[in-house]
Amino acid sequence: MSTDYKAWRVEEQGGDYVGSEKILNTGDLPEGEVLIRVSHSSLNYKDALSASGNKGVTRNFPHTPGIDAAGEVVESSSDSITAGASVIVTGYDLGMNTDGGFGEYIRVPAAWCVPMPAGWNARTAMIYGTAGLTAGLCVQKLLKMGAAPEQGAVAVSGASGAVGSVAVELLSGLGFDVVAISGKADHAEDLKALGAKDVVGRDALSQEKKPLLKPVFANAVDTVGGTPLAEMLKQVKPGGSVSCCGLVAGPQLETTVLPFILRGVNLLGVDSVEIPLADKVSVWEKFAGEWACPKTEASARDIGRAELDGALKAFLKGESAGKIVLDHS
């Protein structure tokens, strides 16, 4: 059975990429085992890249972005997922070259579907979204390396962003002293409310000639990459670790080996997209339990499809803050 649905669709128009609401049909969705009625999605930097025609994210247009989706299964040919189940889909190819959560329906492989954790609904899941999942994976890697509050402060760069803000609240809830590094002076109080002990400007990570600086951070979550990550590595204490997940400040990393060979600093790569489903499930279950971030949940902002354009452009300008949920109702 096929049905019409609404989607925020991006088209190429004379070299520009323009998003608008369109009526599509589920019969035109890609093949897959599970058809999901999406009630909520979540906004991410990668969605902004897709919507602006970044070919590294999305090759072909017209396209429906949305790397995150949550909703109800309406058809399934898989034994593992049944119609009526509530599921979360993040990452893999969703919203990249597979039509994503900015439409009211998606069709995906069963292997992409995470069962909704007990006590959660689609909106709660999408408050966290890929950004929350990524923050959780960053923190999990630090903990696996033995990071502990008594070692000293943990820095979070891009702290007001979607990944950074969840990392701030999660780490603070785990008892860490969090130093939030943010370019938004007017968000300092919000970051403190999320649990940051200190908030410092991006100049804490501005380019210095010296290959090593005074070590001030025991561990760190870096969501920006580029020069700020290189500068952060110079300031990590011996044996400390940095989880690295983003590139808003650039994909290049120019560093010497000195933080690694003189201080034993660990640079930990974090991918939330292609990892096994079981690794995603375990982080989702933690957020629905002992890792819950009530302040993030309370402060999330809901928007409709008509507000997507402006909200996505704010990501590209580095002006987005906190968690934004797309509500299809």
* Chain residues in the site for ligand NDP (CB under 6 A): 44-46, 130-131, 134, 158-164, 182-184, 202, 223-224, 228, 245-249, 270-273, 315, 318, 320
Query: Prior bond to 149 cis, omega within 30?
Result: no
Rounded-to-integer distance, Cα 22 and Cα 14, Å:
19
Rounded-to-integer distance, Cα 191 and Cα 25, Å:
42
* Amino acid letter, 312: L
**Residue 78 CB, nearest approach to ligand NDP (Å):** 25
29 or 69, CB closer to ligand NDP? 69
95 or 103, CB closer to ligand NDP? 95
Q: Are 229 and 157 in contact (CB under 8 A)?
A: yes
**Residue 43 CB, nearest approach to ligand NDP (Å):** 8
**Residue 296 CB, nearest approach to ligand NDP (Å):** 12
**Residue 232 CB, nearest approach to ligand NDP (Å):** 11
Residue 129 burial (CB count, 10 A):
31
113 or 248, CB closer to ligand NDP? 248
32 or 183, CB closer to ligand NDP? 183
271 or 279, CB closer to ligand NDP? 271
Rounded-to-integer distance, Cα 280 and Cα 300, Å:
22
Q: Who's near 172: CB < 8 A, 6+ residues apart?
A: 178, 194, 195, 196, 197
SS3 label, residue 165: helix
**Residue 284 CB, nearest approach to ligand NDP (Å):** 14
15 or 269, CB closer to ligand NDP? 269
**Residue 79 CB, nearest approach to ligand NDP (Å):** 29
DSSP string covering 8-32: EEEEEETTEEEEEEEEEEGGGSPP-
Q: Closest residue (Cβ) to ligand NDP? A: 161
